[in-house]
Chains A and B, each alone.
Chain A
Amino acid sequence: MGASVQQSFIWLPAGLLPLPLPLPLPLPPPLLLKGSMTFHKGPSQRSPPPPGYPPARQLKRWPVTWQSVKPEPPGKFVIQVFKDFQQPFTGRYPTSHRIYSMPVPQEPLRRVAVTGGTHGNEMCGVYLARHWLQAPGELQQPSFSAVPVLANPAAAAVCRRHIGCDLNRSFTKALLTASPTPDEPYEVTRARELNQLLGPKNSSQAFDFVLDLHNTTANMNTCFIVNETDLFAMHLCHRLQLQNSESPSWILVYQPPESETFSLDSVSKHGMTIEIGPQPQGVLQAKLFYRMRSLVASTLDLIELFNQGTAFPAFEMEIYRLLEYMEFPRTEEGDLAGMVHPQIQDQDFKPLQPGTPIFQMFSGKDVLYEGDSTVYPVFINEAAYYEKNIAFMKTEKLTVSVPALPVLTPSPAH
């Protein structure tokens, strides 16, 4: 089929892509470190964590490890920020509160990578990575040049999420340090290669920053996925959120703070994932492509600003933190018995009250949400999560106070 194809088009010169300029923010006097990150918590209830941390592919429910923190009115706990790897400052909160330790950059970030095609059918990253591999000029900044990486070339070649297993769940210590075997999944081998290229994970030789590009079929607009202990990334996504004000953008914390990280952007010292949707798998939509490209440019601009000694002052922002998965209703044979209810379809990040219908059964019956508190669903009806039996993920909304970053002294001053 499709024998006659017309290609008689005229090539018109047109404007170049609009790449946003770095947004100069009003700068209050720079705060020094030893600040605290305060979380105002809602009264949500969570189930106890399973022992240990199962391999990502067998994950059924999120292991919620941070709930040992007792919510106290108004419910606060502290993330300690400190220089280097010294003893954390315990602050004014009782020791029952969780204390996180995390490094902040003391030097300019010079080794930066932008990875696309980690999932081979998420086309914005696939096309951007391929484009930059041929024309990397767009990724150059005065103080560094970001390296483009097509993370899962085999999956991208056949336009599938993965070949053997999910690459973005394969950066665990166990998988990265296991001896290679001939029958291991392709992605496990590839994760080790990427760990060599961009890591090794948790080492001083690791890249300073990895920006990983994804698409979702869910209506999540622009979503920045960060590790809440990565103060540098928290600053970046806050600034990006301010710059990207014409379309909604959200900040999602996917990783429980004390669990082992497993995603590609965890091999570097700092990292972040940009998730843009809705876009079907295997489809490239121009608007989303441009938005992703602009966001990458803005991210690199912000890293450059930091490298040049720009202050990143303290701020407060809203984040959404993952609580647990909601599974699809299934028949005894394992087939779907219903689908995401039209009332919550496309309502990612909107409040979901107890009693709201969440599933519509094929019989016509509705299933209501039975929680006892308002949650914020995300990744609603994401294609890739059917095989994991996840209909959506519940999150809680929090306001966090994020302390300032240290201000780098411009290099010539040394």
Chain B
Amino acid sequence: MTEKPIKKIAIFGGTHGNELTGVSLVKHWLQDGTEIQRTGLEVKPFITNPRAVKKCMRYIDCDLNRVFDLENLGKKISEDLPYEVRRAQEINHLFGPKDSKGSYDIIFDLHNTTSNMGCTLILEDSKNDFLIQMFHYIKTYLAPLPCYVYLIEHPSHKYATTRSIARYPVGIEVGPQPQGVLRADILDQMRKMIKHALDFIYHFNEGKEFPPCTIEAYKIMEKVDFPRNENGEIIAIIHPNLQDQDWKPLYPGDPVFVTLDGKTIPLGGDCTVYPVFVNEAAYYEKKEAFAKTTKLTLSAKSIHSSFH
């Protein structure tokens, strides 16, 4: 199938101000963008939450990566609005508007996690041939370094991500890295992911045909909270056997939590799941100890640019 060539790309860093890999790469590219330039493409690096970056906090008032829904984007501007909602409207103005013809073609949004998730590409739509082809390309060129695809298509969980204003939203998540820390190995991996993504787009625009492909993906099932007492206090923590085991199969009966008194709490149910975002710092307040996913295969049709 033919697709329009890509013209405008943005690379977002600092959507969460304490995830330093995206912050540092974007700031560096604002100084010297040679490595992200490709002939025929406009690639714009952009710091999305500068106030949170300055304070090295995830956000100032609320999570910027959850407020790009039409309701928040349509709110009347006033001083009472949370900083991130006002900022979302500015970003929507610059790179959107969401769901319109004028919006950017692709937005890469760069994130870090404290979980041991390695290189992760986040996909919001399982039927998107173009992005499945792109992810297939990135995975191929990153090998033997593993790269996982996390599919967040879910009937009841709507994310309203910062990148969702683009026609093709791409979340890039690399870990483990503590908040407020910049690790060279993690930065190198994220830098390679962006390089291969831009190379793919360049080849696509050049008219290269990408034959049908399949990729393995992990689709979100549900989020699991920490066990808590009546006061909402956490009474059990991630079991040592589960710590750092993101993407690995977790079978019914396997230990999941351990109480402060040493009791093990196993996985219930009767199906194997693949945990992700295990013990992510930012999700304690979101009441999420980890998310369960199921493994599936996504396929994409052959694509080439309509330009040629």
Contacts and interface: CB of A to CB of B under 8 A. Distances in A.
A and B associate in one complex: yes
B154 to A, nearest CB: 9
B43 interface: no
A10 B265 contact: yes
B262 A15 contact: yes
A178 interface: no
Interface in B275-298: 279-282, 284-288
A59 interface: no
Contacts of A335: 24, 27
Contacts of A85: none
Contact of A10 (B56, B258, B268, B284): B268
A133 to B, nearest CB: 12
B168 interface: no
Interface string A108-146: 000000000000000000010011000000000000000
A383 B262 contact: no
B94 interface: no
B156 interface: yes
Which of B181, B282, B285 is most buried by chain A, counting CB atoms within 10 A of its CB?
Answer: B181
A360 B182 CA distance: 11
Interface residues of B, number: 59
A383 B180 contact: yes
Interface string B147-178: 00000000011110000000000000000111
B114 interface: yes
Using C-beta atoms within 8 Å of the partner chain, give the interface range for chain A.
Answer: 35 or more
Interface in A82-119: none
A413 interface: no
B183 A9 contact: no
A5 B225 contact: yes
Given A11-B265, A381-B182, A383-B178, A2 B257 contact: no
Interface stretch (B3-11, B73-81, B235-243): B235-243
B265 A9 contact: yes
Which of A278, A284, A384 is most buried by chain B, counting CB atoms within 10 A of its CB?
Answer: A284
Contact of B256 (A9, A281, A336): A9
B267 to A, nearest CB: 8
B195 interface: no
Nearest to B235: A131
Contacts of B230: none
Nearest to A1: B157
B293 to A, nearest CB: 14
B178 A280 contact: yes
Given A16-B262, A287-B240, A339-B187, A3 B180 contact: no
Contacts of A342: 184-185, 188
A383 B183 CA distance: 11
B239 A7 contact: no
Nearest to A335: B27
Given A2-B223, A6-B268, A217 B262 contact: no
B32 interface: yes
A341 B185 CA distance: 9
Decide if the interface of chain A is mainly helix, strand, loop or mixed: loop
Given A9-B257, A286-B239, A280 B184 contact: no
Given A5-B287, A363-B32, A281 B179 contact: yes
B153 to A, nearest CB: 14
Contacts of B223: 1-2, 4-5
A336 B222 contact: no
Contacts of B233: 130
Contacts of B203: none
Given A8-B268, A11-B265, A362-B24, A283 B222 contact: no
Contact of A9 (B178, B181, B266, B288): B266
A345 interface: yes
Interface in A2-48: 2-17
Contact of B183 (A281, A363, A381): A381
A289 interface: yes
Nearest to B177: A280
Contact of B281 (A17, A280, A336, A363): A280
Contacts of B238: 284-286
B272 interface: no
A173 B28 CA distance: 43
B207 interface: no
Contacts of A381: 181-183
Interface in B177-235: 177-185, 187-188, 222-225, 227, 233-234
The 10 closest A-B pairs by CB, nearest first: A280-B178, A282-B281, A383-B180, A362-B28, A280-B114, A217-B178, A8-B268, A342-B184, A9-B265, A2-B223
11 contacts: A1-B158, A2-B225, A5-B224, A9-B267, A10-B266, A10-B268, A12-B263, A14-B262, A217-B180, A282-B282, A336-B27
